[in-house]
Structure 1
Amino acid sequence: MTVTYRQPGVVLTDRRFSVPLDHDEPAGERIEVFAREVVSTARGGAGLPWLVYLTGGPGFGATRFNGKESWLGRALQDFRVLLVDQRGTGSSTPANRQTLPLRGGPREQADYLALFRADSIVRDCEAIRPEVTGGAPWTVLGQSFGGFCATHYLSYAPEGLHTAIITGGLPTLEGHADDVYRAAYPRMECKSAAHYARYPQDVERARRIAAHLAEHETVLPGGYRLTVPAFQSLGMLLGMSDGSHRLHYLLEDAFVRTPAGSTLSDAFQENVRTELSYAGNPLFAVLHEAIYGQGERPTAWAAERVRDEFPQFDGEKSLAGDAPLLFTGEAVQRWMFDSDPALRPLRETADLLAARTDWPRLYDPARLAANEVPAAASIYHDDMYVDRDHSLTTARAIRGLRTWVTDEFEHDGLRAGGPRVLGRLLALARGEA
């Protein structure tokens, strides 16, 4: 069933597709993938090529645009756009603490979610492409984890692609999750230092909040347990273009005076809960390290293990001395499944995924070295979420891939830079720049 309606300047059509849960068993169970088709009212869509958008994550549905916001307006000049809710997200068949018990216990849930990585997402795209395009190849735009999916696409189904555009999402082809986080923690430290250089008053504010949390058990509205490591994880904001400012405004009015003394305000607690809760996107936490799994070596809670190699991130030690409290980001750790009520029922499932030793390979270096699909990628010089050097190494391994390395944008360059970022990458892929 399809439903068509309008927003300013665009015509939208909601589409639903039935795809195999396991593409190696096409006659078996099926799930639903939702996608929203968008075409400019000025173009009408007749004869336009297709661009399919794969968003970041894992675990996020496609962006819900209002009209021609951000990069979408530029895309609609040349394409009819398909915004895909990757399996388990958005309006696709959901996967969360409420629905996963339908699969059975933690073992069955883990086996189910092992089919929700980039390889299955790309096979979903290939399953629906003939119905959408009549069999013609399409352009893929992959943001962040969507870029990981696009790189898998180039490895295993390049015949489905006319062009590949990747923004802030060139993955390491061979590196283990440990390698990803050994490169990530120094970037987190740099982002913390840059934040404090911009807002020096936040050094004392962050230490005061952390000291309060160390002395007082704090449970946020909805049941989230706010500990010092949980507070530090607000550093996830620092990878976005406006994130440092948002963190600053979050910290500035944290405390309120009461008859019982100074305590964290209701407003602060509610705002922190909004930032930290995974209720809206639990697959981000459950599958975050699994997106790096390849071969027999388990991911084994890499971010938490590797953090021990960087003692400067130990909040208790920072409070015992005079060092600024460092924030963390892009690091899902096991304690989150104790702190967040949306994740607690999935803790054993996540443990099983972290211990898994039979992950399929995600990338084919030989196929990438022989690539013939026009491709371009933006690499953000100071990207906190995706390592620049890993991205450059991968870029050199993909034949014909053209890169734009810039420090003008953070990880969300496609959102913040909108038409200019997409326009430049399309020009690079087309040989026009």
Structure 2
Amino acid sequence: MTASYRQPGVVLTDRRFTVPLDHDDPAGEKIELYAREVVASGRADQDLPWLVYLQGGPGFGANRFIGKPAWLGRALQDFRVLLLDQRGTGASTPANRQTLPLRGGPAEQAEYLTHFRADSIVRDCEAIRPQVTGGAPWTALGQSFGGFCTVSYLSLAPEGLSAALITGGLPSLDAHADDVYRAAYPRIARKVAAHYARYPQDVERARRIAEHLLAHEVVLPNGYRLTVEAFQSLGNVLGGSEGSHRLHYLLEDAFVPTPQGPALSDAFQEEVQGMLSFAGHPLWALVHESIYGQDERPTNWSAQRIRAEFPQFDAAEALAEGRPLPLTGETMFPWQFETDPALRPLRETAEALAARTGWTPLYDRARLAANEVPVAAAVYHDDMYVDTAHSLRTARAIRGLRTWVTDEFEHDGVRAGGPRVLDRLLAMVRDEV
């Protein structure tokens, strides 16, 4: 049963689908997928081609738009859009600290989560596409991890695609997680240096906060233990178009005077809590490194191990040497399963995933080399989250793929400059530019 309703300029329809947990066992356990169909109000009765949106992440549900902001308004000029909550996210069958114990212990939970990677998401798309389009191929728009999924789509089921649009999401086809993070840490350092150059007053502010955290135990209202390492991880926001400014405003009013001396304000703690908690997207924490697993090697907490190769990220050393506090980026560390109450019950599950071997390949080089689907990709120069060199090597491996390399946008260009970004990519796959 579907339900339709209206927002300014759009008609929305809730769609629900049942798919196998394991597509290699179609008669086995089923899970539910949720998606929101969106069409422009004046075109609700028209027969339009479809665009399926694959959200970044992993572990995030599709955007909950109001009306048609960002890229959506441009898409609705040409398409009926399906905003898919990828398996385990949003209103699809959830996977979190509350539901995963239904699977059994940590080993069973980890085995369950092996079905939440890009290959399963692509097979979900193919399972529901006939019900949505009547069998016609559709255009995929993949942002960040959604772009990884789109490259898997081109590898596994290109017949389902009429075109593919990728924004900030061309993955390496063969890099181990170690290679990904070894390339990432220098980019993170550049973004942090750029932030301190833009806001030099934040050097002392960040140092003062770090020193306070070293001297005091701070527990946020939701039970999150705010350590220096956790504070450093706020650097993750620096990969977005507004991230540096957001971080600056967070730091400028961190302290308030109290009878016991300066303390981190309630307002600061409340905002930091929202930025650090994984309660709304625990899958990101659990499966993030596994999206790079494609061979016999475990990921084995790659970001933590590779960080040791970059001693400049050690907070204590930086403070002792009088250097600006280093911040970290899109990295998942084992200590986060101790500091975050939403993740603590899942620590053993995360350990089991980190130790797992025998990951199946996500990309088919031969099929990509023979690709016939029109593909265009926005590659953001010095993207904090996806290595530009990795992306360009992949672009050369996909037959017919056209790239638009730009430093006009950060990783979230499809949000910050959505109409222009989508217009450019559509023109490229249509050979209009």
TM over 0.5: yes
Percent of residue pairs identical: 76
What letter matches 1:379 in structure 2? Answer: V
CA distance in 2, matches of 1:68, 1:210: 41
Q: CA deviation at 1:300?
A: 0.4
2:37 matched residue in structure 1: 37
Task: Specify the SS of the correspondent of 2:244.
Answer: helix
2:398 matched residue in structure 1: 398
Task: Specify the SS of the correspondent of 1:179.
Answer: helix
What letter matches 2:31 in structure 1? Answer: I
Structure 1 residues 204-261: Cα deviation after superposition (integer angstroms, max 9, x where no partner): 0000100111111111111101111100000011000000000000000111111111
CA distance in 2, matches of 1:44, 1:227: 51
1:185 matched residue in structure 2: 185
What letter matches 1:272 in structure 2? Answer: V
Structure 1 residues 154-199: Cα deviation after superposition (integer angstroms, max 9, x where no partner): 0010000000000000000000000000000001100000000000
Task: Specify the SS of the correspondent of 2:6.
Answer: strand
Matched, 1:274 2:274: yes
What letter matches 1:79 in structure 2? Answer: F
Unaligned stretches of 5+ in structure 1?
Answer: none
In structure 2, relative to structure 1, the CA distance for the partners of 1:132 and 1:253 (3 Å cut) is: same
CA distance in 2, matches of 1:245, 1:340: 25
Q: CA deviation at 1:45?
A: 4.7
Task: Specify the SS of the correspondent of 1:385.
Answer: coil
1:294 matched residue in structure 2: 294
2:116 matched residue in structure 1: 116
- Structure 1 segments of 4 or more deviating over 6 A? none
Matched, 1:12 2:5: no
What letter matches 1:247 in structure 2? Answer: L
CA distance in 1, matches of 2:139, 2:45: 15
Structure 1 residues 83-135: Cα deviation after superposition (integer angstroms, max 9, x where no partner): 00000000000000000001110011000001000000000000000111111
Within-5 A mapping of 1:162-173: 162-173=162-173
2:304 matched residue in structure 1: 304
Deviates more, 1:37-46 or 1:22-31: 37-46
Task: Specify the SS of the correspondent of 1:259.
Answer: coil
CA distance in 2, matches of 1:34, 1:205: 43
2:236 matched residue in structure 1: 236
CA distance in 1, matches of 2:417, 2:166: 14
1:144 matched residue in structure 2: 144
Contact 1:39 1:45 in 2 (8 A): no
Task: Specify the SS of the correspondent of 1:258.
Answer: coil
Structure 1 residues 133-152: Cα deviation after superposition (integer angstroms, max 9, x where no partner): 11110000000000000000
TM-score w.r.t. the length of structure 2 is 0.99
CA distance in 1, matches of 2:46, 2:118: 31
Structure 1 residues 340-393: Cα deviation after superposition (integer angstroms, max 9, x where no partner): 000000110001001110211000111100000000000000210000000000
Task: Specify the SS of the correspondent of 2:39.
Answer: strand
1:104 matched residue in structure 2: 104
Task: Specify the SS of the correspondent of 1:42.
Answer: helix
Contact 1:50 1:79 in 2 (8 A): yes
Within-5 A mapping of 1:23-102: 23-102=23-102
2:257 matched residue in structure 1: 257
CA distance in 2, matches of 1:415, 1:146: 14
What letter matches 1:158 in structure 2? Answer: P
CA distance in 1, matches of 2:284, 2:351: 15
2:357 matched residue in structure 1: 357
Q: CA deviation at 1:201?
A: 0.2
TM-score w.r.t. the length of structure 1 is 0.99
Deviates more, 1:196-205 or 1:217-226: 217-226
What letter matches 1:255 in structure 2? Answer: F
What letter matches 1:232 in structure 2? Answer: Q
CA distance in 2, matches of 1:214, 1:320: 12
Q: CA deviation at 1:270?
A: 1.0
What letter matches 1:256 in structure 2? Answer: V
CA distance in 1, matches of 2:189, 2:236: 12
1:246 matched residue in structure 2: 246
CA distance in 1, matches of 2:294, 2:165: 24
Q: CA deviation at 1:41?
A: 1.2
1:220 matched residue in structure 2: 220
What letter matches 2:229 in structure 1? Answer: P
Structure 1 residues 371-421: Cα deviation after superposition (integer angstroms, max 9, x where no partner): 000000000002100000000000000000000000000000000001100
Contact 1:45 1:80 in 2 (8 A): no
Q: CA deviation at 1:44?
A: 2.5
1:198 matched residue in structure 2: 198
1:418 matched residue in structure 2: 418
In structure 2, relative to structure 1, the CA distance for the partners of 1:118 and 1:399 (3 Å cut) is: same
CA distance in 2, matches of 1:262, 1:256: 6
What letter matches 2:254 in structure 1? Answer: A
What letter matches 2:369 in structure 1? Answer: A
CA distance in 1, matches of 2:226, 2:107: 29
2:382 matched residue in structure 1: 382
1:345 matched residue in structure 2: 345
Unaligned stretches of 5+ in structure 2?
Answer: none
What letter matches 2:143 in structure 1? Answer: Q
